[in-house]
């Protein structure tokens, strides 16, 4: 299936793009993240399993167990703080 992946803040800066259309076999957000990590380089560093990364699916905060659907939007971003 194809999903739209968006990257924000430091993840976007490291990867060098704000988003892409990804062809994936992943059924969940966690599996998609693992597929992206396997690409290596900035993907592996930015999305590594030891790093705290927030994820939204269709603009709703989700965890790694969230199911993916054809054409959905998945956003990865680092935790942010405000003041």
H/E run at residue 81: none
Arithmetic mean of pLDDT, 68-74? 97
Kindly state whether residue 27 falls inside one of the protein's structural domains.
yes
Q: Could you report the per-residue pLDDT of 2-55, keeping only the tens digit for each?
A: 999 999 999 999 999 999 999 999 999 999 999 999 999 999 999 999 999 999
Residue 68's SS3 state is coil
Pairing between β-strand 73-77 and β-strand 19-23 as defined by DSSP bridges? unpaired
Instruction: Please tell me the total number of residues recorded for the chain in this structure.
Output: 83
User: How high is the pLDDT of residue 7?
Assistant: 97
- Residue range of the domain that includes 68: 2-77
User: How high is the pLDDT of residue 81?
Assistant: 57
Note if the pTM is more than 0.75: yes
Euclidean distance between CA atoms 6 and 17, whole angstroms = 9
| Residue 82, pLDDT above cutoff 70 | no
Question: Residue 47 is part of a domain; what is its CATH number?
Answer: 3.10.20.30
Kindly state whether residue 82 falls inside one of the protein's structural domains.
no
Euclidean distance between CA atoms 37 and 34, whole angstroms = 5
């Amino acid at each position: 299936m194809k999903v739209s992946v968006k990257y924000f803040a430091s993840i976007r800066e490291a990867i060098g793009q704000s988003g892409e259309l990804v062809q994936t076999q992943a059924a969940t957000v966690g599996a998609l993240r693992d597929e992206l990590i396997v690409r290596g380089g900035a993907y592996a560093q930015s999305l590594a399993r030891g790093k705290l990364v927030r994820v939204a699916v269709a603009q709703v905060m989700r965890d790694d167990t969230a199911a993916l659907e054809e054409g959905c939007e998945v956003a990865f971003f680092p935790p942010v703080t405000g003041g």
